[in-house]
Amino acid sequence: MKFTVPVEFLHRIPKSDLHVHLDGSLRLSTLIDLARKQHVKLPAYTESGLRKTVFKNAYTSLVDYLKGFDYTVAVMQDAPSIERVAYELGQDAIAEGVRYMEVRFAPQLHASENLSAAEAVRAVVRGLMRAKHEHDSSAAVKRGEDLPFYFGLIACAMRNFTKSMSPYYAQLMAALGESSKREIVQTASLELAKLIVKLVRTEQLPIVGFDLAGEEVGYPAADHVAAYQYVHQHFIYKTVHSGEADGPESIFQAITECHANRIGHGTSLFSCEMIKDRTVTDKNKYVDDLANYLASARIGMEVCLTSNLQTMPELKSIKNHPVCEMIKRRLPVTINTDNRLVSNTTVTQELQRLVKYIALTPKEFKNVIIAGFKSGFFPGAYVEKNKFVRRVIDRYEMLAKKYGVPLE
């Protein structure tokens, strides 16, 4: 019999979101309000109009999917706006039961003469901290009837960028002049790596991870080895957007050259036909070895079902998503939103889709939920993290009993 769960159970269980982009998760009403105040031109100034023209349910490609970021980033160029967006994201996540979240964004996209990358980071922390304080001060949390909210930040470097993407990139490209594009992106990512290490060490900001986002094909993670080595040497966790638009070799590169602790998306993990290295004579074995390594090393897979379906129309249905094979092979799978606005989703909705389209046992579903907390980079001591995970498990089991949801 197919495993099903009540929607209220999905809403009430503690959830995580380890892969959520700040600039892809604004409230539409906030985007419109900020655009009006800052004189940023939008294709429409109503929520229905923007849903029709930009933030659609279906996209034709990754390029089509990314168009909305031109507008969201444009209204996030000052500290108060960034803080507001972060605060509201924290509110929205907490309201649906998310109790651990790692918010990622590219500080250099928001840096200009009027706002440094460091100030952008501080603004995000302030917004999320305000949401955390409001929740953690509630009577339910104080009585132990609800869990506190924890969060961490993940700083994203860009695989590729242009002068038009931000004043920071324009200034950097002008300063480096005749340097190769590879040298320019290396410089940007290493500068970001050094900045976040400094902020963690001198200000104790909860920056828990380093990421690489943007165009994957033609812009290898290996170009950013120096940045990843730097954060690796300073005890910052690593994740890499890989296996989203490129094949299994991109994932291999992320774990072997960038020390990745988690993989962002990893949708092409089992796509043998995408392997380009001619020295790989047995492509099936290559994929098997890679998957086995990921599983045994407990390298988490940040799965974003709706987003993957929107940027990879060839999947056609969640039924065809490799998440089923990932779970079957015991990889640490986590379910995430990617972009709450752009993908028009929540963690609860992502879990609903997982249960609806993927045949899971009760134990497998529970493992997915708990993996979201175990795989988290967590801004605190390991002992503290373990205690929190234990509380998550206890609450999950209590709610499962209340709603008649089996555990095995």
Answer yes or no: is 2 within a domain. Answer: no
Answer yes or no: is 336 within a domain. Answer: yes
The Cα 225–Cα 231 span in angstroms is 10
Answer yes or no: is 408 within a domain. Answer: no
Answer yes or no: is 124 within a domain. Answer: yes
Answer yes or no: is 253 within a domain. Answer: yes
Quick one: pLDDT at residue 334?
98
What percentage of the chain reaches a pLDDT higher than 90? 92
Q: What is the pLDDT of residues 212-229, one digit of tens each?
A: 998 888 899 999 999 999
| Percent of the chain as helix, strand, coil, to the nearest 5 | 55, 10, 35
Residue 140 makes CB contacts below 8 A (sequence gap 6+) with 146
The Cα 122–Cα 303 span in angstroms is 28
Q: Mean pLDDT over residues 314-337, rounded?
A: 95
Q: What is the pLDDT of residues 344-403, one digit of tens each?
A: 999 999 999 999 999 999 999 999 999 999 999 999 999 999 999 999 999 999 999 999
What is the Cβ-side half-sphere exposure of residue 231, based on CA atoms within 13 angstroms?
Answer: 34
Quick one: pLDDT at residue 131?
98
CATH number, position 47: 3.20.20.140
Q: What is the pLDDT of residues 121-141, one digit of tens each?
A: 999 999 999 999 999 999 999
Q: What is the pLDDT of residues 76-132, one digit of tens each?
A: 999 999 999 999 999 999 999 999 999 999 999 999 999 999 999 999 999 999 999
The Cα 53–Cα 55 span in angstroms is 7
Mean of the per-residue pLDDT values of the chain:
96
User: Apex CA 106: angle with CA 103 and CA 107, to 5°?
Assistant: 105
Say if CB 109 and CB 85 are below 8 A apart: no
Residue 63 pLDDT > 90: no
Burial of 316 (0-12, 13-18, 19+ CB in 10 A): exposed
**Residue 103 structural domain:** 7-403
Quick one: pLDDT at residue 185?
95
Residue 61 pLDDT > 70: yes
| b/e per residue 242-258 (b: at least 16 CB within 10 A) | bbbbbbbbbbbbbbebb
Answer yes or no: is 1 within a domain. Answer: no
The Cα 40–Cα 186 span in angstroms is 31
Band of residue 1 on the pLDDT scale cut at 50, 70, 90: low
Question: Is 102 assigned a catalytic role?
Answer: no
Residue 64 pLDDT > 90: no
Answer yes or no: is 152 within a domain. Answer: yes
Q: Which of 102, 216, 244, 350 is catalytic?
A: 244
Quick one: pLDDT at residue 153?
98
Answer yes or no: is 348 within a domain. Answer: yes
Q: What is the pLDDT of residues 244-275, one digit of tens each?
A: 889 999 999 999 999 999 999 999 999 999 99
Beta strands in 34-148 (DSSP E): 98-105
Residue 62 pLDDT > 80: no
For the chain, how many structural domains are there in total? Answer: 1
The Cα 148–Cα 136 span in angstroms is 5
